[in-house]
Chains A and B, each alone.
Chain A
Amino acid sequence: PPPHSCSDWIGPPDKHSNLRPIIFYVPPEESPLERRLREARQEAQACNQRFWAQQNRAFRQEKEEFIYSRLKAKGLEIRDDTGKKATLNAEEMADFYKDFLSKNFRKHMQYNRDWYKRNFTITFLMGQVALVRALRWLRWKKKNVGN
């Protein structure tokens, strides 16, 4: 994002977590409330990034391992004659999907609770900041009209 910009910028989805990173703009006279909001958003972003990058990585890795072990059991090579990677069909992968989901269930539960809490806090703070800004603008308008 350009240095003179006065707003947040959002980028393309991250390779590992599929989440879009945000670069937050820090205004020169940032009130404590605004700072709290920005820090909450940054924290949430970091936490989400960590969780999903790790999840996706684990998924990919375990999927590879599963395919490898299944192919081995069937007596096939990981790559066929044309050099393409051999894959299992959806029915064979179903066992893996079920397994992966149940293994990560508790992790997801915790993440959900965490995410809902953060989401509500951030939105509430956004509301407070918007309200304060609106009041400030009204006061400034009144002052100007008075002059």
Chain B
Amino acid sequence: GLFVWHLKNTGIRQVPCQFVHLCRAANDRLITFQYFNFLKRMYVTQYNKDLSQRAKPKSDSVASPFCELQQLDQDKKVIHKISPISPVHQPLSETISRNELREMASAAETEDSVAPVRAESKEDRQWKEMKLRLDDLPGILARLSKIKLTALVVSTTSAGFAMAPVPFDLTCFLLASLGTGLASCAANSINQFFEVPFDSNMNRTKNRPLVRGQISPLLAVCFAASCGVPGIALLTLGVNPLTGALGAFNIFLYTCCYTPMKRMSIANTWVGAVVGAIPPVMGWTAATGSLDAGALLLGGILYSWQFPHFNALSWGLREDYSRGGYCMMSVTHPGLCRRVALRHCLALIGLSTAAPVLDVTTWTFPVISLPLNLYISYLAFRFYRDADRSSSRKLFFCSLWHLPMLLLVMFTCKKSFLEKEGKDDLLGGNHGRALEIGLP
């Protein structure tokens, strides 16, 4: 009974946190987060209704490439539920921008999306005055900052915080989440600022605020600065300098490395994966104040996860990438694309096994997570061998639920703080990482 309650409790807390925001800086990534909606949104909207900090995940950079890819039309549910953010604009714009992946969505979804699509396209064909209306501003800024993606990023950070082997500190947790959210908003806004003509040419992104002229570039930059500076300051002064430094570094990586690299070399995917991996590390360092092996492990898991997720998604967007001039593996090196996805699925198995070795979880974790990881590896293998639309879609959809499940299982198998201390007393050795973790 107790266990069930505990599970439910953690589940409730963890579910929103475990939505990985794969939104890599890459345009694609950004979309991925939104795609996550499929599962996450249902949870995210339920739990994060009052969360005003739905900033775009910094991991947008990593996720960004994915984000674009993840333009799943699974937003049927999302359309219904995502009311808090921007009731009118957000769901509609997302619906419209998902045209590309419409085929991916279930038929039922299309029905829901048709009505808003029609309304928006009519509006689209008119000439609009370029004057900023104050009541439109919240919706515009929400879309500019890719707020759903940010929410996912913040969830990942919370997961990192929760996995850290220290007693839970609510103030620290809230400050870390807020700071990360603000930094993510800033990074996403700058990304959109850089990509206006490219976004106009891709179906997924053609309804962004800067593309539609709803906000001036100057205002977008000012907004980014007014989110980024307080966000990083909050992390540095309110949490600890290490987390602040990681946050600033992630913003830089996303906006100045990932975004331009998307058009220059396929290496952007790896940079984007790092961007996605940093938020959970930030969550961990916010809790413990130091960069432990556990933090790197969590970051490593998210890093590896990005590849099957993104590569599978990008498989269906090859035409748009080619026309838009984006250098993605799926277009230029398709074999490598599939190999890397498979490689990293197998790496996940290895990383899950390393978790108990580093005292992050108990040995139950690799055992329970093995079927999950084997299944996604199997789908990655099928994708590798078949290299077609259906296998890429299967892999992509699997990655959507695989990560939340993995993080949930990880949390339930978390090595108890007290357990570790007890072990230390017994053995008198230096096992307890908990003890090594300095006091904040």
Contacts and interface: CB of A to CB of B under 8 A. Distances in A.
A and B interact: yes
Interface of A: 1, 5, 7-13, 17-20, 22-23, 48, 52, 55-56, 59, 90-91, 93-94, 96-98, 100-102, 104-105, 108-109, 111-112, 115-116, 119, 122-123, 126-127, 130
A108 B388 CA distance: 28
A133 to B, nearest CB: 12
User: Helix, strand, loop or mixed for chain A's interface?
Assistant: helix
B263 A97 contact: no
Contacts of B318: 90, 93-94, 97
Interface size for chain B: under 10, 10 to 19, 20 to 34, or 35 or more residues? 35 or more
Nearest to A124: B218
B212 A97 contact: no
B325 A91 contact: no
A88 to B, nearest CB: 12
Contacts of B216: 126
Contacts, number: 111
Nearest to B387: A91
Given A97-B322, A104-B325, A19 B197 contact: yes
B101 to A, nearest CB: 13
Contacts of B363: none
Given A93-B319, A97-B331, A100-B322, A122 B217 contact: yes
B201 A123 contact: no
A123 B223 CA distance: 13
Contact of B129 (A1, A13, A122, A126): A1
Interface string B356-399: 00000000000000000000000000000001110000000000
Interface in B207-233: 211-213, 216-218, 221
A1 B127 contact: yes
B323 A12 contact: no
A93 B331 CA distance: 10
B193 interface: yes
B217 A123 contact: yes
Nearest to A14: B200
Contacts of A18: 200-201, 206
A27 to B, nearest CB: 14
A18 B327 CA distance: 20
A101 B327 contact: yes
Contact of A101 (B125, B196, B325): B325
A100 B323 contact: yes
B129 A20 contact: no
A55 B387 contact: no
A90 B217 contact: no
Given A8-B213, A20-B200, 20 more contacts: A7-B130, A12-B124, A17-B200, A18-B201, A18-B206, A20-B212, A23-B127, A48-B197, A52-B201, A90-B389, A93-B318, A94-B318, A97-B322, A100-B322, A101-B326, A101-B332, A104-B325, A116-B260, A123-B221, A130-B218
Nearest 10 pairs between A and B by C-beta? A97-B322, A10-B213, A108-B325, A126-B218, A8-B130, A12-B125, A11-B127, A18-B201, A101-B322, A123-B217
B264 interface: yes
A115 B200 CA distance: 14
Contacts of A13: 124, 200, 206
Interface string B122-138: 00111111110000000
Given A19-B200, A20-B213, A126-B218, A97 B319 contact: yes
Contacts of B211: 20
A9 B325 contact: no
A96 to B, nearest CB: 8
